[in-house]
Amino acid sequence: MENIILTIHVILAFLLIGSVLMQKSEGGALGIGSSGSDSFMSSRSAGSFLTKFTSVVAIMFIITSITLTAMHRNDAKNSSVIDKIEKKEDNSPKIPKSK
């Protein structure tokens, strides 16, 4: 089950990246205006589809993120990685020194 959700999560990540990159930049942050109101109105329908698609993919991405976190919450112990390393070093066999 975990592998299926993780696979869906990775696919959603790629879809989210692609949908954000395909959206038309408004140019508001750079001070660049539109070339005209006609081009703005014609790209509006394509923009609204990409905006809705991006929103749906983002919500699904967040849901899979929360699901994966909830699944791993039970696996997490109250110990740190450093504690595990120290235990491993303590349990490792000692190599006798040759003379």
Residue spans per domain, the chain: 2-22+47-91
Question: Nearest Cα to 24, choosing from 35, 9, 13?
Answer: 35
Q: At what angle do helices 2-22 and 44-73 cross, to 10 degrees?
A: 150
pLDDT digits (tens, 9 = 90+) for 4-34: 999 999 999 999 999 999 887 766 555 555 5
Look-up: residue for tokens 């066999």? 93
Please tell me whether the overall predicted TM-score, pTM, comes out greater than 0.75 for this model: no
pLDDT digits (tens, 9 = 90+) for 39-56: 544 555 666 888 999 999
